[in-house]
Amino acid sequence: MVVGVMGVIMMAAPQTFTKVYRFVQLLTARVEIQKNARGALANINRDLRQAQGDTIVIDSLPNQPPHSRITFFKYSSAGVPVLMSYYQQGNQLFQARGGVSGKMIANNLRYIAFTYPRTDDDTILSISITFEKSTYEGGTKALQMAVEKVRIMN
Amino acid sequence: MNRYPAPFPGGSPRRGQMAIAMVISILLFLMMMFPIMNLFVQNEGKWSVKEKKATAAFHLAEAGVDRARWKLMENTDMWTIASTGTIAGYHFDIVYKAEDGGTYAINISSDPSDADKRIVESVGRDKTGTQTRRIRAVLINDNAADFATRAVGLVTNTGNEHVEWGPVYSGTSIKTGPNINNANTFPRMFSAGHVDPQDGGSTVASTDDRSWWSYYALPPEPKIKFAYYISSAQNSGNSPCDGKPYYDTTTPVGTARTFAGCTDTSGKPYYIVNGDIEFASQGGGNYIVGTVIAASGRIYVSGNGGGSHSGDYRLPPEAWKEYGYKKDAADTSAWDHYKTFDTDAPATWDAAVASNYVATNHTYHLTNVLVHGFLYAGGGQGLSGGGNGNIVGALFSKQAAAMGTSTMCLYYDDQVTAGIVVEGVNIRLFSWYEVRPEWPSGL
Amino acid sequence: MSALESLSRMLSGIAGRRPEGNLPAALPAAPAPARRRPGVTLTELMVAMVIMSVGILGMVGAFKFFNVGIQSAKTRSLANNIAQERIEFLKNKSYYRVLVTTQPVSDPNFAVGEMVYDLAPNGQESVNVGGITFIRRVLIRKVNEDSDKKLVPLSWDEPDSGLKEIKVYVVWKERGEWRKLEVRNLRENPNRVNLSASISGNVSESGGGALEGVVVRAQENPSKYAETDPLGNYSFTIEPGTYTLMATMDGFFTGTRPSFGVVSAQTVPSQNFTLTRMHHGTITGTAWVNDHLLVSQVVGSSVNSEGFSQEWVEVYNPTTWTWTMATGLNSGVVGLAYEMRNRAMEVIPLNYSTLTVDPQHYYLFANTGTVRAGNFNRQADAVYSNSAADYPNIIKTNTDPGNDAAGVAIGWLATLTGIDEVGWETGGQNPPLYKGTPIEQDIGLELNEQFVRKTSPGTLMPGVGRAYNTNNNDNDYFVLSLTYPPKNSANHENAVSGTPAYGAVVFADDNLSSPVTANSAGSFSLTNVSTGSWTVYASSGLNFSSVAYYGGTANGFSSSTGNLFLTSSTVYGYATGRVTDVNGAGLPNIKVFSAGSPQATTNASGRYTLPVQAGLVTVIANYRNQSPSYVEITSLDLTVGLGEVAKDVDFSLYYGGKIRGKVTTNGTDPLPNIPVVGLKNGIEQGSGISGTDGYFTISGSGVSTGTYVVMPQLEAGESASPSSTAVEVVAGQVAFSSTFTVSGAFGSVSGSVHTGSLAGPVITTGVLIYVTTAVLPPNSGPPTITAALRAGIVYYAASTNALGNFSIPVKGGYSYNVYAWYTSWRGSTPTTTRKDSTGLSVAAAEAKTVNFFW
């Protein structure tokens, strides 16, 4: 009898352990993705709003997805123009300020694109961003897409 | 009796411990993960709520900016009131409550360096009071007069440099200097046609981005509120200089109202309806403070006009912008000229541009000042004639403007142009950015 | 020893396998191994299982919590983004293209007033992000600053103030509950017409001094008004135009000044008023509710000339409708029952010879066909059937053996529910049937004794309906020796009382008095009623009555409405007010309407009382321009409770007409969904949207008369020919403005992106789509966007959404090339592949679809 019960435990315990571990992995992946999406978009939003519209340039780093980099001058809180740039390199999102090399602000980046709904109206810009993190057994699970429209105020 | 019980049939002696070991290790693992996961989830919750509140606060702040713009367009006086006084409800005196509980407050104030700009600051706060965002927008009145000399027709500015501190606008062409080597290097020149000789005769829009712009889309002419000047002149009675009225209908077309030996610092406007205005040198010289309008005639200086006053005048904070001209890479003559008046200025004009330089508390000394105020010539031009007269203020001519006298000079004064009463305001957003989110004290 | 070993020892010990107590010292080593028992006992195992299951069960709950926590943070973040996107989109539009809500609706999933949003013209949209469906709604209103610097909303049909409030709501359902997120912002009109004119003056009372608190309003632009200060002076600024001024104050007749024009920078002083005070008086009365049959007389025994002991029950119908007592001789609908204490209730079988009882008539139940009382012979309407037990003496009197406290009731036979009951005590005992307090009796119902219901409080008058009912038998009945003969269905007597309408709300539509409530006796005193003739209403929430009453002419008058009977039921609240023209004259025969309730028409002096649904409602005056010379005006939201009244819902109608026109792409083909505004003196008075036939109407509710400039509001890049037209609006007419030809109107390109094949799974991570007339070199990326490129050929772009769809508005009339770039990853190395679809021609207002797959 004890052997039987022991046998059940022996079979159940590792599975439970694995499942718990997977859940934890999934949870931390989701948390990370969400944090990335929210933080990155909020930052880009805030900066772009204060950008000077005619200084905006959208392109990409070499061998990176199209239109994944945006460069512009924005007004700092002292009223002085500052050069800002956000770009994708690999699956990381970088922010560069003042022309120095960039600082990573998020990883697990799958897709970022800056688009003008129409290029003859440069007062509104759309940003679409997707984060993706692979979890157990190679299945990419956590996915967060966020879209924003930003009015360029200057 | 056997005292030693038989060993357990089969199985390793430590099996029991292993089951428990597994249990305990699972539990231990969970015990460690739980607080971490809990922390993640709680943080996520906290941050997403914070973001929502920050967004609400931001939009309220922006609503405040838009409301301030609406208020400034309520009537033509709001813009003027905001430069020296305050508008009730719009100087951080009232906290406006939005229906969902958030609050915002608005402040409209004048720009310390540019009298044609107003600074709107709006602070928004979400309903719990934890998130605050603050936006500063600078609004500019496009209808303002901010030129040293503006003529609808041709401007000739040959010979010595005649205009300092403020730009020259022409609706037709600007002619400065017979050739490139002795063309005037300051101030900035904006022309709807040629800037001669700098543009080399080109008939398409061109510029050096520093001191001259040809075929340029000029800002609209300011609509001077003549009704104001007329009624003000009518109420001013007679001039102490010659006993003739400030509002002068008696000088007929083609003749001039002559100022000779006239010192009038009352600030009351002269409005000559039909005739011309002449500044003559007899009688000890002239010094007029205030607005001088020849509604349909011209203004001219005969002899040296008799500019009689000497004094210190305020250097406009953005006067340095007029001195960017470089004939070639080594030429610093324009900036060096400016630096003689303002020793605190940055080393080069480009450095001043990059740092948004503002000259504060600088003055310069002038002698032979003829007029300190705004000159309006409805016909002909102004300022031809002899020398030794200086005008501090601005000049607008509905026809052409010739500034070819040998030592006549016009020194721009931004406070004079800010005081020119114009019809209607044309408010435009000049810049917009977020500043440190501080809720104003006392609210 | 390791921890595990000592644990094992402990468990062994618990299991009772203690080694024997005294071991000989000669065996030192042996006991030690004997103690360390190998293997695991069942008990150990059970304990382990218990620990584990406790741990695991705890975990499961926590996991659920974590999931919920993460999910709700995610939805909140997404909802925030979605709301913000819409606000940015709306704030980027030109001022007149931000369309004000004309049809607000309320979402019943939220508390009243919390979720009011736009059904037209913006509508709601459904956005799917991250696997969750959000619904995005807006509410856009015109607002204006009042004298306290607060922003107050204006009705959509009022002239534009230059400031609009935008609210965006995002709602979603999470775990069965609806949640919302709200963001609000403002949008100002950069071309706002200055309030450059100003109007001022003084208001005083005729024969008296200055009046404070008088509201002086410009009728054509009702959001512009001022209140007089203690010296009676007022002043306000307004846009230039032509205006009529009206001064109003409670207790005074309104004053008006004829229409005058004001131009820019003009101050019009001395617009003075002299107001005449309204006299007022008091109206009193009593309100009664009569909504069911009443037992009006009970006689237990009265011997007729033939020695037969008669008994009868008389019933009175005080209501205003006919009751059906039976459908046939033996098929009763309303029946009679008698119950004595300690006995079962007896439903008396009856033969019904009269089937109905008319309003204000009686009905007689008796144990004999003809009741003889004194000189009267009265036919019974329903006679006891001789199948009844105890026939013919069912109602016992004191002479009957076993007489005890008892009661008589009438009720519905089908359901055996009572309509009215009367009961009497006997010997200190309570009867089983009674209302309130049973009739106090010592020896019970006596021979030749009758219980008769009073006709009014404290009295019984012959010739008047016996209807006084406070639901208290002892109070409502007189105990008499046979005095009043019974009446039957042929007898008509009007009731002058009934059940006092305690708590009923009584109001008059004079705009001066406030509603009062009737007291426990049903009487009310309505004070401060203006002189003149008004209608007095009484409502008890479920029952309603009204009576027209002439108030009085002298100051301090006092008159009575008499008895008001609340006999018709209602499920409404009420709104009252006055409809006038701009000069203050009342407008009769104007249709006033509120959704969900019958409409009303104004009377000769312009007053109306309109039933409205309880809750949040709006009242519309001149509904659907039934009087075409005037505009239709909608009030702001009112909250009205059931049976309550909202006062002072006044309307000032100005002359109006409508403007009609057509928007086309080429002069003939219609172009829908283009907003068109009508501007008078630069202020927007109304707007319309072109429909599927291209026609628009400005506006549905009519706009004030005058000269208008009609302008289509276009997106950047579109142009209209003519760009605007001037048209004159005359009262009651529909003026035709122009047929506008819009060039450069937009069509759209939409589609979806898939992997594998066109039917394969959609790409959810995002694909970059460009639509342009330019031709890109093969396999290149999209061009670098700089200021120079933005000044050249237009490129339209978008990224696909989480469902793999995209929709891009593009200018119509061109042939476009559509390019799509999809990036796939290997580790951190991207590979981008481009797909093209060229030569797609899109006409204005046309939607083309292009799908891609990789």
Question: Which ipTM did the prediction report?
Answer: 0.89
Determine contact: A11 vs chain C, CB below 8 A. Answer: no
Q: In B, which residues are within 8 Å of A80 by CB distance?
A: 355-356
Apex B411 CA angle, B410 and B416, nearest 5: 110
Work out the number of other CB atoms within 10 angstroms of the CB of residue B258: 21
Residue from B141, B192, B191, B187 nearest B165 by CA: B187
Co-location of B237 and B315 in the same domain: yes
Provide the pLDDT for residue C451.
92
Which residue of A2, A23, A153 to mutate against B (max B Cβ within 10 Å)? A153
Provide the pLDDT for residue C551.
67
Q: Chains A, C: CB contacts under 8 A, how many?
A: 161
Shortest distance, CA A77 to any CA of chain C (angstroms) = 22
- Residues C163 and C165: their CA atoms lie apart, in Å, by 7
Residue of C nearest to B23 (CA): C52
DSSP line for A91-110: TEEEEEETTSPPEEEEE-EE
Co-location of B194 and B322 in the same domain: yes
Token pair in block for residue B198: 């700098």
Determine contact: C69 vs chain B, CB below 8 A. Answer: yes
CA distances from C109 to C71, C128, C182 (A): 22, 20, 16
Q: Which candidate from A13, A24, A34 shows the least CB-CB separation from B44?
A: A34
Q: Which candidate from A34, A50, A80 shows the least CB-CB separation from B434?
A: A50
Q: Are A79 and B19 within 8 A, CB to CB? A: no
Q: Are A145 and C798 within 8 A, CB to CB? A: no
Which residue of C8, C192, C193 to mutate against B (max B Cβ within 10 Å)? C192
- Residues C252 and C279: their CA atoms lie apart, in Å, by 8
Residue of C nearest to B15 (CA): C39
Subunits close to B (at least 3 CB pairs below 8 A): A, C
Co-location of B132 and B161 in the same domain: no
Determine contact: C84 vs chain A, CB below 8 A. Answer: yes
Determine contact: B356 vs chain A, CB below 8 A. Answer: yes
Work out the number of other CB atoms within 10 angstroms of the CB of residue B355: 10
Shortest distance, CA C705 to any CA of chain B (angstroms) = 25
Q: In B, which residues are within 8 Å of C51 by CB distance?
A: 23, 27
Name residue, tokens 């593009």: C810
In a domain, B128, yes or no: yes
Mark C421-457 as b/e (b = at least 16 C-beta within 10 Å): bbbbbbeeeebbbbbeebbebeebbbbebbbbbbbbe
CA distances from C350 to C371, C489, C848 (A): 16, 16, 80
Co-location of B235 and B299 in the same domain: yes
Determine contact: A38 vs chain B, CB below 8 A. Answer: yes
Could you say which residues from 89 to 148 on chain B have a Cβ atom under 8 Å away from some Cβ of chain C?
Answer: 89, 94, 96, 98-100
Q: Are B434 and A28 within 8 A, CB to CB? A: no
- C333, C361 in Cβ contact below 8 A? no
Which residue of A6, A15, A70, A118 to mutate against C (max C Cβ within 10 Å)? A118
Could you say which residues from 73 to 92 on chain A have a Cβ atom under 8 Å away from some Cβ of chain C?
Answer: 90-92
The torsion angles phi and psi of A86, rounded to 5 degrees, stand at -120, 130
Co-location of B280 and B386 in the same domain: yes
How far from the centroid of its chain's Cα atoms is residue C563's Cα?
33
Co-location of B125 and B255 in the same domain: no
In a domain, B442, yes or no: no
- Determine the angle formed by the axes of helices B15-72 and C3-14, rounding to 10 degrees: 110
Q: Are A65 and C830 within 8 A, CB to CB? A: yes
Q: In A, which residues are within 8 Å of C786 by CB distance?
A: 57
Q: Are B51 and C30 within 8 A, CB to CB? A: no
Q: In C, which residues are within 8 Å of B59 by CB distance?
A: 84, 87, 183-185
Angular region, C342: left φ>0, alpha ψ -120 to 50, beta rest: left
In a domain, B441, yes or no: no
CA distances from C852 to B331, C771, C798, C830 (A): 59, 13, 14, 19
Co-location of B137 and B277 in the same domain: no
Shortest distance, CA B11 to any CA of chain C (angstroms) = 7
Shortest distance, CA C71 to any CA of chain A (angstroms) = 9
Could you say which residues from 73 to 132 on chain A have a Cβ atom under 8 Å away from some Cβ of chain B?
Answer: 74-77, 79-80
Total number of domains constituting chain B: 2
Q: Which candidate from A17, A28, A74 shows the least CB-CB separation from B40?
A: A28
Q: Is the dihedral of CA C476, C480, C486, C492 positive or negative?
A: negative
Q: Predicted confidence band at B388 (pLDDT cuts at 50, 70, 90)?
A: low
Q: In B, which residues are within 8 Å of A10 by CB distance?
A: 19
Could you say which residues from 22 to 41 on chain B have a Cβ atom under 8 Å away from some Cβ of chain C?
Answer: 23, 26-27, 30, 34, 37-38, 40-41
- B252, B275 in Cβ contact below 8 A? yes
Co-location of B239 and B123 in the same domain: no
Provide the pLDDT for residue C364.
93
Residue C213 makes CB contacts below 8 A (sequence gap 6+) with: C227, C228, C249
In a domain, B25, yes or no: no
Angular region, C399: left φ>0, alpha ψ -120 to 50, beta rest: alpha
Co-location of B242 and B101 in the same domain: no
For residue B306, give the DSSP letter.
Answer: T
- C706, C695 in Cβ contact below 8 A? no
Helix (H) or strand (E) holding C288: strand C280-289
Shortest distance, CA A80 to any CA of chain C (angstroms) = 21
Token pair in block for residue A56: 């905006």
Residues of chain C with pLDDT under 50: 1, 8, 11-34
Q: Are B8 and C37 within 8 A, CB to CB? A: yes
Which residue of B75, B99, B226, B421 to mutate against C (max C Cβ within 10 Å)? B75
Determine contact: A140 vs chain B, CB below 8 A. Answer: no
Q: Are A154 and B51 within 8 A, CB to CB? A: no
Q: Are A122 and C797 within 8 A, CB to CB? A: no
Q: Which residue has the higher pLDDT, C800 or A147?
A: C800
For residue C777, give the DSSP letter.
Answer: P
Provide the pLDDT for residue B104.
92
Provide the pLDDT for residue C352.
92
Could you say which residues from 187 to 246 on chain B have a Cβ atom under 8 Å away from some Cβ of chain C?
Answer: 227
Co-location of B270 and B286 in the same domain: yes
Determine contact: B4 vs chain A, CB below 8 A. Answer: no
Residues of chain B with pLDDT > 90, as a percent, come to: 7
Residue of A nearest to C715 (CA): A121
Co-location of B129 and B179 in the same domain: no
Domains of chain C: 64-188 (no CATH), 197-277 (2.60.40.1120), 291-481 (2.60.40.1260), 498-570 (no CATH), 571-650 (2.60.40.1120), 656-743 (2.60.40.10), 746-853 (2.60.40)
Residue of A nearest to B119 (CA): A79
Total number of domains constituting chain A: 1
pLDDT one-digit tens code per residue, A74-128: 888 777 888 999 999 988 899 999 888 889 888 888 889 999 998 888 888 899 8
- Residues A122 and B234: their CA atoms lie apart, in Å, by 50
What is the residue range of B356's domain? 149-418
Q: Are C74 and A30 within 8 A, CB to CB? A: yes
Residue C91 makes CB contacts below 8 A (sequence gap 6+) with: A151, C98, C166, C185, C187
Could you say which residues from 9 to 38 on chain C have a Cβ atom under 8 Å away from some Cβ of chain B?
Answer: 11, 20, 27, 30, 33-34, 36-38
Determine contact: B16 vs chain C, CB below 8 A. Answer: yes
Provide the pLDDT for residue B216.
84
Q: What share of chain B is helix, strand, coil (3-state, %, to 5)?
A: 25, 30, 50
Q: Which candidate from A13, A77, A80 shows the least CB-CB separation from B434?
A: A77
What is the residue range of A46's domain? 2-151
Q: Is pLDDT of A34 > 90? A: no
Co-location of B303 and B370 in the same domain: yes
Determine contact: B34 vs chain A, CB below 8 A. Answer: no
- Residues C823 and B97: their CA atoms lie apart, in Å, by 47
- B172, B193 in Cβ contact below 8 A? yes
Q: Are A74 and B433 within 8 A, CB to CB? A: yes
Shortest distance, CA B430 to any CA of chain A (angstroms) = 7
Provide the pLDDT for residue B61.
92
